[in-house]
Amino acid sequence: MQTIILKSDKLVAEIKAELKQAVTRLAAKGLVPRMCAIAASADPAIASYIKSKQELAESLGVVFDLINLDTQVSQEELESKISQASADSSIHGIILEMPLASHLNANRALEKINPKKDIDGLTFTNLGLVLSGHEDEAILAATPRACIILAESQSELDGKNVVVVGRGRTVGRPLVPQLLNRHATVRVCHTHTKDIKEVMKKADVVIIAIGHAKYFDDSYFSEGQIVIDVGINSTAEGLVGDVDAEKVAGKVAALTPVPGGVGALTSALIFKNLIKAIKLQNL
């Protein structure tokens, strides 16, 4: 079987074209979109995330502010910076770069973001709206949305068995309600799941986000599956996913590459969320 590599470049180009038009329309009204990224982490992948967003912002004509805090910053100082950005009417979108330094509480920090400026869709308000089936009123979590778009490029999710591997705050947990809203049958695997290989093999679609380089080889998959690899791991050979792509190729029907898959699309969707945030703020 020849595995389809689900590159996101064409999707990203389409979204960028839409975004440029949206930014032009806003500029004609005297409004220049402005977003603020806040980081407090020693994770080497964070620099890659920030760089891609900075470059995209520049190409779109969006003002990009970066608050890069020391990794030893206190919870109080982090929350203060977020609160200041939320209260600044000239800032239309805020993203807290994850993961944070280990001593920081992400939930407390995220709740300092005005939900209408939460362009990563991770505040309790936006997650709750999605969970209750009100996606139109919410800003959707960007990485889960990217996973769904790439999976749906191969097959509708309605009625499909989808296994999510990983229950993290930024991918696994916010992904589940988005999948349910598309009528998928969802099972979540984590460190306490028994017979995880057998569970994964029974899925039509497998979405993986555990942050462990090349952890999953071909023994975890069945022929014909769609595999969405969310992992971005910095190694001596460069950025790699959670799936060992070389070993899986030829067995699964489709697989997202790392880089060039979920991550690139997520960055574009964050800017799409920025435009929605501006609308929600009635600007």
CATH number at residue 40: 3.40.50.10860
Q: Is residue 52 part of a domain?
A: yes
Q: Judge whether residue 44 has pLDDT over 80.
A: no
Predicted confidence at residue 234, as pLDDT, reads 81
Binding residues for NADP(+): 166-168, 232
Q: Is residue 238 part of a domain?
A: yes
Task: Mark whether 259 and 153 lie in a shared domain.
Answer: yes
Predicted confidence (pLDDT) per residue in 80-123, tens digit: 999 999 999 999 999 999 999 999 999 999 999 999 999 999 99
b or e along 170-190 (b: 16 or more beta carbons within 10 Å of the residue's beta carbon)? bbbbbbbbbbbbbebebbbbe
| 70: exposed, middle or buried (Cβ count in 10 Å: 0-12, 13-18, 19+) | exposed
Q: Is residue 218 part of a domain?
A: yes
228 and 208 Cβ atoms separated by less than 8 Å? yes
Task: Give residue 101's domain range.
Answer: 31-114
Task: Mark whether 187 and 147 lie in a shared domain.
Answer: yes
CATH of the domain at 201: 3.40.50.720
Q: What phi and psi values does residue 261 have, to the nearest 5 degrees?
A: -120, -105
Q: Judge whether residue 49 has pLDDT over 90.
A: no
Predicted confidence (pLDDT) per residue in 197-236, tens digit: 999 999 999 999 999 999 999 999 999 999 999 998 888 8
Task: Mark whether 222 and 148 lie in a shared domain.
Answer: yes
Number of structural domains the chain divides into: 2
Instruction: Give Cβ neighbours of residue 180 (< 8 Å, ≥ 6 apart).
Output: 186
Predicted confidence (pLDDT) per residue in 115-173, tens digit: 999 999 999 999 999 999 999 999 999 999 999 999 999 999 999 999 999 999 999 99
